[in-house]
Amino acid sequence: MIVNIDPFMGDAAEGDRCVSLVRSYFPHALIFRPEEPDFASAVARVWSATRAPRVLHLEDDWLALEDITPEQVEPLLVDDAKAVTFMTATKHTRSLPYQVTRRIVKGPEGEAMDLLVNAFSTSPGVFEGTFLRQAAALMLPKLDPEKQFFRQINPELEAHALPWRCMFLRGVHSRMLIEDTGRAMRDEQGIVKSYENGISLWRKAGEAAGE
């Protein structure tokens, strides 16, 4: 277990309680506590520290709706698949078994072409270890870690990732396998998340950019 605890929306005492919680389950966990919060740096930091051929990436605001087993995941990590992402209500499959995003490009005659390109998620899922560590080495600080894979803001990471696929894993009892609890928390706390110039920002509702 490798954990990053950013000083974000909490004080040092709350960080200490996070450490105690982690240690109660994983006494020998490697825990990073950087002085400044940065989502992309947190992801790159823990990914770079891994050594396993398969890596489960998760964050603190997700709830599994049923058991998830290696036997469900491993058959999907074949051929050109380098990751398996767990299905949630916000994912759009476009009737495909793997994740894609739309991209508008110019054709040879200057015409607009609507393409689907491969995309990856940093929401809970399992990654092929070598792919994940190479991605960590290419990830840029400050920029949203997930959107760096496909939003044309990190060309080197895109070149590494776009030939490969991120497969969807659906639930056995329903389509959804995990639930995002962070959205409810943001609503309760009056926090708005936005995406601006490649960066994901969290601010109190009504605050102007930069406050």
* Position 211 pLDDT exceeds 50: no
* Position 174 pLDDT exceeds 70: yes
pLDDT per residue as tens digits for the range 113-122? 788 999 999 8
* Position 29 pLDDT exceeds 50: yes
What number is the average pLDDT over the span 194-211?
68
* Position 196 pLDDT exceeds 80: no
What number is the average pLDDT over the span 62-70?
94
Q: What is the pLDDT of residue 208?
A: 53
The reported pTM is 0.87
Indicate the domain borders of the chain.
Answer: 61-124+134-178, 181-211
pLDDT per residue as tens digits for the range 123-152? 899 999 999 999 999 999 999 999 999 999
Q: What is the pLDDT of residue 207?
A: 65
What number is the average pLDDT over the span 78-101?
94
Residue 46 pLDDT level (bands cut at 50, 70, 90):
very high
DSSP result, the chain: -EEE---SSS-HHHHHHHHHHHHHH-TT-EEE--SS--HHHHHHHHHHT--SSEEEE--TTEEESS---HHHHGGGS-TTEEEEEE--TT---TT-SB-EEEEEEE-TTS-EEEEEEE----SSEEEEHHHHHHHHHHPPSSS-TTGGGTSSS-HHHHHHHTTSEEEEE--SSSS--EEE-HHHHHHHHTEEEEEETTEEEEEETTPPTT-
* Position 210 pLDDT exceeds 60: no
